[in-house]
Structure 1
Amino acid sequence: MERKLASVQRVLALHPIENADAIELAQINGWQCVVKKGEFIAGSLGVFFEIDAIPPGLPQLAFLWTSRHADGPQPRPENFRIKTMRLRGALSQGLLMPLGQFTLPENLSEGEDLTTTLSVGKWEPPVPSGMGDFRGPFPPLVRKTDEMRIQSIPGVLDELRGLPYVITLKCDGTSATYCIDPRTDEFHACGRNQSITEGANHYWNIAKKYEIEAALRKAPHLAVQGEICGPGIQKNRLGLKSLEFFAFNVYDQQQGKYLSHDDARAFLADANLLAVPVIEEGEAFAHTLDSLLALAEGKYEGTNNEREGIVIRPRVERNSLILGGRLSFKAISNRFLLKEGE
């Protein structure tokens, strides 16, 4: 399921903010964001920009990046994005604007994706040095790594309800995929979107350190995906002394599906590859949105750094009707987002 960085969303409820006369909190799906008081009523539709959205440089949005002391509206700064913040003590995640402030097609429906219509971009963290040059496209038989945030798709909680589940730590690093392309028999070390040229870079250094190609040659239909963490990557929030690789997926290229938790862990153990730590597991999933967001918060072990969050999945792989694919989603720590946005 593609992330909707801008979409038509319904205001589910409005809540007052203590000691604030001009603003209030609007609830959209599992998100909450600050809006002008009186601009919306419960049940009305608006244009919702999610966090990490790079909004278009339209005059009606210039208030987001123009100082109140500036001489008129300013051009949007490069890579300006919507962030998690606190306004009058209230957590605000996203931006909700009235439909009438934009030139849009008629008869828009709730949930309609406006990302392309409004030319909204997605903010990506700066690429660290030492990541290597692009070798070519991402191998087509392997799915790229991505997870939807629970606030955007709260209905998946009911799809997982009562099932055996596993919650793992989201390691803060850079995504890596390793596989053997069955069409060419070539080994690939990949970033999030591209195959990387072999050389003295993080992806290939990890591949050689853990002898990943040798492990995959024994099972060439499998691909391993995980996070490279350590010095020089995302402020090294795990406090590692050297680069490490934490696997979170094992993908079967022949079957076109991921291995279930136990099978993936067995393969990783046999290949001497580290798996992302398990935070919690159980026989019957019963978490709420609030309890998952609370569980997402904490410190990386041995550090004073806020952890990024958690990933939630059934123990046995299954599809989600809401996601239109794999039942898997993430909860990002609000404490992490507030600190990261500083």
Structure 2
Amino acid sequence: MSTLRVTVERLTVLAHPNADALELAQVGLYRAVVAKGAFRTGDFALYIPEQAVLPAALIEELGLTGRLAGSAHDRVRAVRLRGELSQGLVCRPRALAAVDLELAAKEGVDFAGALGIVKWSPPVPTSMNGEVEPAPELLPWTDVENLRRHPHVFEEGEPVVVTEKLHGTACLLTYVAGDGRVLVSSKGFGAKGLGLKEDDRNLYWRAVRGHGVPGAAARLADRLGATRVGIFAEVYGSGVQDLAYGARGGAADAPPGYAVFDVSAEIDGQVRWLDPALVLADGELPLVPRLFEGPYVLAEVLELANGRETVSGRGLHLREGVVIRAATERHSPVTGGRALAKAVSPAYLTRKGGTEYE
């Protein structure tokens, strides 16, 4: 899940093709449905992204009481309004009345704290939970920003790799070469520097043991001369999320589905990000499906986010989306981090009964 920032943005206003009283306010490549005449192209307004949880007073001020997602009707999520996908909210709250919006946009001011807006934290099922302990040597994972929010992360024609984004739960494993220790964590716990104590009932430990990940990480550390190796993967299957790809969720006779999407290694004191397909031996570990390698074309990458999943080989359900990375690892001045982004399928965003556990 990407970082929550609530910022002022310059709008491009477009006509709504199916409603005379509505328009589309565009931020990056996101479009939010707004009342006709509320904004004009070039205006500055606050953009509240998906997965933001709003305080009751702000919900009432915006006239959204009872209209947002979640049991408390306080969470922003993607919806279709008169046939058009609306992602996020565009507004001008009273609290910003005295703010120079153009200056705030230029400086990238984050108003989340001032407005009491927080990021939604999904509930954690028992199988994904467990006893934790400090894990200072755990190699961390990074948040992946949305390509529609930052369409210029990559340059047109730049060589990229596009892989399928799986709807599971991120599993972090770090192998420490000095003493052979194995640290396992989830994305949420890992962000806090915590590891999960080994437990046969825990989903992540069942996955890494069932797929032989510690051994693969140890062999990779030896090949690279690394002091630490991080293996980052999606754990999936029935009971993990609503999209299961035909895999078991970790029954006694089989481990849950597991697919590696990234690798890092500490070599000579420096942590480097590596392409799993290049550094892992063929068939050593399951990898997320690779959909495309070649020059970056924004429209073509966004189209790849749609369609059916390829993980099962049977197209059992819709595709969550794709992850795009620079073919040669580099820093992105657009996001301030890695040149890495995701594009999510509109059908996935608006599906009914979906789960979003971390």
Whether TM-score is above 0.5 comes out as yes
Q: Distance in 2 between matches of 1:90 and 1:2?
A: 23
Name which of 71, 87, 91 aligns with 1:93: 87
Q: Once the two structures are superposed, what CA deviation does each residue of 1:64-92 show, in whole Å capped at 9, x if it has no partner?
A: 2336xxxxxx9x95473111111122211
- SS in structure 2 at match of 1:330: strand
Cα offsets for 1:84-130 (capped at 9, x unmatched) = 11112221111000254546755523432222222222224432331
**1:108 alignment partner in structure 2:** 104
Identify the residue that residue 291 of structure 1 maps to in structure 2: 300
What CA distance in whole angstroms lies between the structure 2 residues aligned with 1:295 and 1:314?
A: 16
Identity of aligned residues (%): 30
Alpha-carbon deviations, 1:25-83, whole Å to 9, x = none? Answer: 1111111111122211111111111111112222444632336xxxxxx9x95473111
Say if 1:145 and 1:175, in contact at 8 Å, map to a contact too. no
Q: Which residue pairs with 1:198 in the alignment?
A: 198
Distance 1:17 1:4 in 2: 27
- The answer to whether 1:131 aligns with 2:140 is no
- In 2, distance between residues paired with 1:43 and 1:312? 30
Tell me the CA shift for residue 17 of structure 1: 1.8
Cα-to-partner distance string for 1:146-190 (whole Å, 9 max, x where unaligned): 2100111112132xx323221000011000010035787631111
Q: How many angstroms apart in 2 are the aligned matches of 1:184 and 1:275?
A: 27
- Is this contact kept in 2: 1:155–1:322, CA < 8 A? yes
C-alpha separation in 1, matches of 2:187 and 2:178 = 21
Rounded to whole Å, the distance in 2 between the matches of 1:39 and 1:193 is 38
Distance, in Å, in 2 between the alignment partners of 1:134 and 1:113 is 34
1:340 deviates by: 4.6
Structure 2 unaligned spans of 5+: 190-194, 222-226, 250-255
5 Å matches for 1:1-342? Answer: 3-11=3-11, 13-59=12-58, 60-61=60-61, 63-66=63-66, 77-78=71-72, 80-100=74-94, 102=96, 106=100, 107-110=103-106, 111-137=108-134, 139=136, 142-158=139-155, 161-181=156-176, 186-194=181-189, 195-200=195-200, 201-218=202-219, 219=221, 220-242=227-249, 243-253=256-266, 254-259=269-274, 261=275, 264-269=276-281, 272-282=284-294, 284-285=295-296, 287-288=297-298, 290-301=299-310, 302-340=314-352
Contact 2:154 2:339 in 1 (8 A): no
CA distance in 1, matches of 2:22, 2:135: 45
2:53–2:76 CA contact under 8 A, matched in 1: yes
2:334 match: secondary structure: coil
User: Which sections of structure 1, spanning at least 5 residues, go unmatched?
Assistant: 68-73
- Per-residue CA deviations over 1:131-156 (Å, capped at 9, x if unaligned) read 13141245455232421001111121
Taking a change above 3 Å as real, the CA distance of residues 41 and 213 of structure 1, as seen in their structure-2 partners, is: same
Q: Residues 43 and 63 of structure 1: is their aligned pair in 2 closer, same or farther, counting only changes over 3 Å?
A: same
Amino acid at match of 1:50: P
> Could you say what the CA RMSD is over the residues aligned between the two structures, in angstroms?
2.7
1:70 aligned residue: none
Write the distance in 2 (CA, Å) between the matches of 1:7 and 1:183.
Answer: 45
Is contact 2:7-2:105 (8 Å) kept? Answer: no
Aligned length: 326
Label 1:19 to 1:337 Cα distance change in 2 as closer, same or farther (>3 A). closer
Q: Would the aligned equivalents of 2:9 and 2:46 in 1 still touch at CA under 8 Å?
A: yes
Secondary structure at the counterpart of residue 269 of structure 1: coil
CA distance in 2, matches of 1:307, 1:271: 23
> Which AA in structure 2 matches 1:272?
E
Three-state SS of the structure 1 residue aligned to 2:280 is: helix
The 1:162/1:114 distance shift into structure 2, 3 A limit, reads same
